[in-house]
Amino acid sequence: MEHTVRRIIAVAAVGLLAVGLSACGRQTDDASSGSKAANVKGTIGVAMPTKTSERWIKDGDYIKQQLEAAGYKVNLQYANDDIPTQVTQVNDMVTKQNQVLVVASIDGTALKGALKEAKDAGIPVIAYDRLLRDTDAVDYYTTFDNLKVGKLQAESLLAGLEASGAPKPWNVELFAGSPDDNNATFFFNGAMQVLQPKIDAGDIKIASGETNFKTVATLRWDAAVAKKRMENVLTKSYSKADVNGVLSPYDGLSRGIIAALKGSGYGSGGKKLPVVTGQDAELESVKSILAGEQYSTVFKNTRDLAQATVTMITEIAGKKTVTVNDTESYDNGVKKVPTQLLDPVAADKSNVKDILLKAKYYTEADLK
């Protein structure tokens, strides 16, 4: 433990040196202050994956607002889920000598080259929500407890199945996220820790037989891909029986899955929609939950994640010890990345409105 703490301080020290160095070289940002103080507030590069999902728009907005309020400039970029675009954006942040990089990757391993440039230029890198893999050029990680997210999804699936009154064995189908996103494995493994014993006990039946992560994964978290797979599974395995539950790791996929189910007659004429889980509390899905369609979601307050990240940046710039609460869970293939983990919260029709209004994540009017 002592070793770990020392290591964190050492990493922080390297980062600070880097900030100091890059601050010296940054003429436009520093010109106004006329000082080379370590606590200089320059431009922070923020690389986000896509605007097609509402959550990343919120993440970007919150980080920008909070950094600007703390006196930084922000270079916020979205990459339309296109890997080469994100590589170019991160390279550009390095060329411009942005002070710290915050990166939510599309493919966790695709930025290795660009991140090496950042490291060589002495720019600290924070992986934001998604771990940057196979590189030593990542200093810190801010995210939610991803294994717990998966567990919450599975527990909520079981609670919904129990409440549905459907007789056992329950027919369940499994979906996972994008295989190039480290989180997808964590969500799936967390969920399977809860579901596997039920499968082994014969309480849950996967009629498609598709239980392997690679088979159930959904490239780029694409709703259309999940919809197509759900349609195929329904055709192949549910001509006689009904599906009772679907493990979905993300609201966008849940909506694609529900569209496929509705297209096949579920949700009308006495044929109940199955219990479908989700994640992110996206507005459309929250409305679907309130309307009794999607069963649940997992709320991750992205304002808090932005806050944790901005705290890290100010600690790095202010030569303070960087706040982390997990130094073991996130091995990126090269190193264990010191992480600040936040707590995800399960929500269903019974409490979703309450939770989101209390967190001021949405207003009453949003949820109408």
Which residues of this chain interact with ligand GAL, rule CB under 6 A?
53, 55, 129-130, 177, 181, 183, 221, 250, 279-280, 300
Least Å distance, CB 182 to ligand GAL, is 8
CA distance to 225, 236, 260, 277, 288, per residue, from 228 (Å): 5, 12, 7, 18, 20
Q: For the beta carbon of residue 339, count every other beta carbon within 10 angstroms.
A: 20
Q: For the beta carbon of residue 364, count every other beta carbon within 10 angstroms.
A: 8
Closer residue to ligand GAL, CB minimum distance, 3 or 214: 214
Closer residue to ligand GAL, CB minimum distance, 12 or 106: 106
Q: For the beta carbon of residue 190, count every other beta carbon within 10 angstroms.
A: 22
Closer residue to ligand GAL, CB minimum distance, 62 or 170: 62
Least Å distance, CB 237 to ligand GAL, is 26
| Contact status, residue 301 vs residue 32, Cβ threshold 8 Å | no
Nearest Cα to Cα of residue 81 among 124, 52, 110, 121: 52
Least Å distance, CB 221 to ligand GAL, is 4
Alpha carbon distance 31, 54 (integer Å): 37
DSSP letter string over 20-51? Answer: HHHHHH-HHHHHTTT---TT---EEEEEE--S
Provide the token pair at 272.
């109940």
Closer residue to ligand GAL, CB minimum distance, 218 or 314: 218
Least Å distance, CB 252 to ligand GAL, is 6
Least Å distance, CB 222 to ligand GAL, is 10
Closer residue to ligand GAL, CB minimum distance, 161 or 184: 184
